[in-house]
């Protein structure tokens, strides 16, 4: 009879954590393989917490994990899932359920108000599992992409109604209409080394923001721009034109032969940006469901 034990991650060695991660994500939709150094660095950079995370062992061997982090938004603690995986060799034994129950118990004891996660849209089995654990689908989110040179971009004119200025992702996080309820990868805390652009009305009041990160190739040339959030204040006039101006600013008016990516754009929650990107020619490259459970 196999012996299954769930341990708090803070009581595990880094080798055990990495083994649990790498076996837990074997055969996944994307290559998730990590190393001890990368595992710890990501945890530090993203604010993932060993205290809020758990590892499953079968007969002393790491076979899965749930990795969590917590961020505060509007005075409430919201947990996000930085990875749930169970080794293929032990799936169907209820280990995923034990891991999730243990992780949710910890979150509740820490006063967390809600737990969130994303699941690949095609992964029906995982989605059904999360529903059984009490999660419900809040929205669908899309990775979107536009590669190479772009010709004949069409957009609405915002005229002289708005002015654009440089800012930081952290500045965006201070705005009253900032979207801290979007997926964790797109929150400002995950883009601290990025750039931002603000749109202001004639009085100088901020009415829109977008933040992004530019990457260079090995020769130091601009290779890609990744958009994380673009939002316009809900009470603003001409919201579509403002969103388009922000997107144009992020992607340098679509000049240059680069790769342009938008991360986890909510289909309903950020319809304005999603539709604007589609009209600019972006295509959907991956779809996930965004799920939430109130604790």
pTM of the model: 0.91
Is the pLDDT reported for residue 275 higher than 70? yes
- How does pLDDT run across 47-77, given as a tens digit for each residue? 899 999 999 999 999 999 999 999 999 999 9
Dump the DSSP string for 127-147.
HHHHHHTT-EEEEEEEEEEEE
For residue 266, what are the domain limits? 143-288
Domain assignment present for 83: yes
What pLDDT score does 159 carry?
A: 58
Burial track 232-266 (b if 16+ CB lie within 10 A, e otherwise) = bbeebebbbbbbbbbbbbbbeebeeebebbbbbbb
Q: What is the mean pLDDT of residues 254-279?
A: 96
The CATH number of the domain holding residue 54 is 3.40.630.30
- 2 has a pLDDT exceeding 80: no
Q: 107 with 51, same domain?
A: yes
Residues 104, 147 share a domain: no
| 209 belongs to a structural domain | yes
């Amino acid at each position: 009879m196999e012996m299954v034990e769930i341990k708090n991650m803070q009581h595990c060695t880094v080798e055990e954590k990495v083994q649990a991660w790498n076996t837990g994500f074997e055969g996944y939709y994307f290559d998730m393989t990590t190393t001890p150094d990368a595992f710890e660095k990501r945890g530090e950079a993203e604010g993932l917490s060993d205290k809020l995370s758990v590892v499953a062992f079968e007969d002393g061997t790491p076979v899965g994990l749930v990795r969590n982090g917590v961020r505060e938004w509007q005075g409430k603690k919201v947990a996000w899932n930085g990875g749930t995986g169970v080794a293929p060799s032990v799936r169907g034994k209820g280990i995923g359920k034990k891991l999730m129950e243990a992780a949710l118990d910890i979150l509740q004891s820490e006063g967390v108000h809600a737990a969130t996660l994303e699941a690949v849209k095609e992964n029906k089995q995982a989605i059904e599992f999360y529903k059984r654990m009490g999660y419900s689908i809040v929205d669908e989110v899309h990775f979107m992409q536009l590669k190479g040179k772009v010709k004949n971009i069409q957009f609405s004119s915002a005229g002289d109604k708005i002015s654009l200025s440089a800012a930081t992702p952290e500045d965006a996080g201070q705005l009253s209409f900032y979207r801290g309820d979007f997926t964790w990868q797109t929150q400002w805390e995950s883009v601290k080394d990025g750039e931002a652009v603000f749109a202001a009305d004639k009085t100088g009041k901020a009415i829109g923001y977008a933040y992004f990160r530019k990457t260079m190739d090995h020769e130091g040339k601009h290779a890609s721009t990744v958009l994380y959030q673009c939002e316009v204040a809900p009470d603003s006039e001409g919201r579509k034109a403002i969103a388009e101006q922000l997107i144009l600013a992020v992607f340098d008016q679509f000049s240059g032969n680069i790769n342009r990516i938008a991360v986890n754009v909510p289909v309903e929650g950020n319809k304005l940006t999603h539709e604007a990107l589609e009209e600019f020619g972006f295509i959907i490259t991956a779809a996930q469901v965004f799920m939430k459970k109130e604790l």
